[in-house]
A and B are shown apart, each in its own frame.
Chain A
Amino acid sequence: MLNIKNLSLSYGDKHIFEELNIEIKENEITAIVGASGIGKSSLFLCINQMIRYEKSYKLKGEILYKGIDLMKESEDNLTKIRKNIIYVSQQPDILPMSIYENLAFIARIHKIKNIDEKINAALEKVYLYDEIKDRLHTDATSLSGGQQQRLILARALLLEPEVLLLDEPTASLNEELSHKIGLMLKEHKSTIIIISHFKSQVKKLTNNVYSL
């Protein structure tokens, strides 16, 4: 479904990775592991082509998504493609509005039906619903770091993308919650690429592990 071939990235003169080959299988979880600063998040930026908005990057190789090379696509086409390849970033990028509105605004733009039900379902999936059900309409920026991280995961799930790019989604969660979210992802029916610092953490999730 997603094929990365001979991908090399550098920022200015700084090589990040070279000749990277990764094959992502449909509806399976693939894990990317590696030390801090090795280029895991940058790889995600290459996949959703948001790297185009970085300064002085050099990118070579191919990123084939359903047979088309994303690197050659126009920005207009990428806009449509990105809706199906949702990136959940390492730093929670929530907006200064209510918890509900953080999910609803994007659902409305993408004309998703039965918004309220779907929002509740997405929040349930990330084990956030019970914690916040009586303050859905309060400011989302006052949530804790771990809650914010789960909120943006819920936002991604709500859009039902074909591919989920999860950049350390459980970094600020305790063991129990990480485990529960891991199980949820395992049962989730879509292609998932997940970044983690530790091999041991992702062993439970998948056998497709690439280390950078």
Chain B
Amino acid sequence: MKKEYLFYKIVFSIFSFFAMALVYLLISFILYKGLSSISVELIFSDANIVDAMMFKERVFDGIFPAIIGTLMLIFLSLIFGIVFGVASGIYLSIYANTKVKEFLTTCFELLATVPSIIIGVFFLLLSIYLHKIFMSNFLPSLLLSSLALSLLILPYLVKNTQLCLDNIPKEIKHLGLTLGLNKMQNLFYILLPYASKELTSGIFLALGRACEDTAVIMLTGAVASAGIASSVFDKYEALPFYIYYISSEYSDQAELNSAFGAALVLLCIAILLFLFTSLLQKKFRKKYA
């Protein structure tokens, strides 16, 4: 018994050590390559920083528009993700009957297996179709990309929301109803606050996945030099696409290094997203405590 325990302990330690070593290597590699190339020039090129930050001056050659583009993408996907994903999860957990539940759960699981490039192609074709038939301004754009990204992360959001709500203990689940609240009040005053911590974690983990996806956005509106989108119907720049674009067509080492700089910035955005989540969770807990 004891020997067996020791054996598994060693095996698991070795595997987890390898996993951690990989993460460590990856991050230190990006830090090493990225730090040396990160500079004001990389971000703003030769534009005036203050003017650029106020969106008065357009930045050419810098990654500033790509940073803003990525942030806008995250923001819009967050909205669509909450609207579609969280709402579907709530529906599945609380309102759907068993048959509908089984059917939709299978659908979402299927959707989770669809590669992101296919989602990109689908949205590209959809936009061409819609552009021809209904709306002349429905072209690859920030809006289209964020819709596509929210579809990409939809299965995770739905599953997470559903699990969070399903896992609420039985006596809490119906507490509001026994106190004379209707189903809607029970949901908003008791169930969602009760599950808020797990819900926000799930949403931001999924967003992290969305903000680094390249396949979807390069087909649905991300381009190399669009500047900052002035509306959601514009084309835009984004960091993952910038990195992909540079590393596939660089002409010298300096150019490749700027891709590493952009990668570091993207990593920082992901980390900020993570920090923001934990901050939000603490706030939720405080408000709810």
Q: A interface vs B, CB < 8 Å?
A: 48, 50, 53, 75-76, 79-80, 82-84, 86-87, 89, 91, 93, 95-98, 101, 105-106, 109-110, 139, 155, 159
Contact = CB atoms under 8 A, between A and B. Distances in A.
Q: Which 10 A-B pairs have the closest CB atoms?
A: A83-B180, A93-B171, A82-B180, A79-B182, A87-B178, A97-B288, A93-B175, A97-B289, A106-B179, A53-B174
A95 B180 contact: no
15 contacts: A50-B174, A53-B174, A53-B177, A79-B180, A82-B179, A87-B178, A93-B171, A95-B288, A96-B288, A97-B289, A98-B289, A101-B288, A109-B181, A110-B180, A159-B179
Chain B interface residue count: which class? Answer: 10 to 19
B179 A83 contact: yes
Contacts of B177: 50, 53, 79, 82
Given A98-B289, A101-B288, A110-B180, 7 more contacts: A50-B177, A76-B182, A79-B181, A93-B171, A97-B289, A101-B289, A159-B179
B271 interface: no
Interface of B: 171-172, 174-175, 177-183, 185, 189-190, 193-194, 288-289
B79 to A, nearest CB: 28
Contacts of B289: 96-98, 101, 139
A80 B174 contact: no
Contacts of A91: 171
A86 B178 contact: yes
Contact of A95 (B172, B174, B178, B181): B172
Interface of B is mostly: helix
Nearest to B172: A93
Contacts of B178: 48, 50, 82, 86-87, 89
A89 B179 CA distance: 11
A181 to B, nearest CB: 21
Interface of A is mostly: mixed
A155 B177 CA distance: 14
A89 B193 CA distance: 21
B111 to A, nearest CB: 29
A159 B172 contact: no
B3 to A, nearest CB: 41
Given A83-B179, A97-B288, A105 B189 contact: yes
A109 B185 contact: yes
Nearest to B190: A95
Contacts of A101: 288-289
Contacts of B182: 76, 79
Given A93-B171, A109-B189, A80 B288 contact: no
Nearest to B173: A53
B266 to A, nearest CB: 36
Nearest to B171: A93
A31 B181 CA distance: 27
B86 to A, nearest CB: 21
A159 B178 CA distance: 12
Contacts of A76: 182
Contacts of A83: 179-180
A79 B181 CA distance: 6
**Residue among B171, B174, B178, B190 with the most chain A CB within 10 A?**
B178
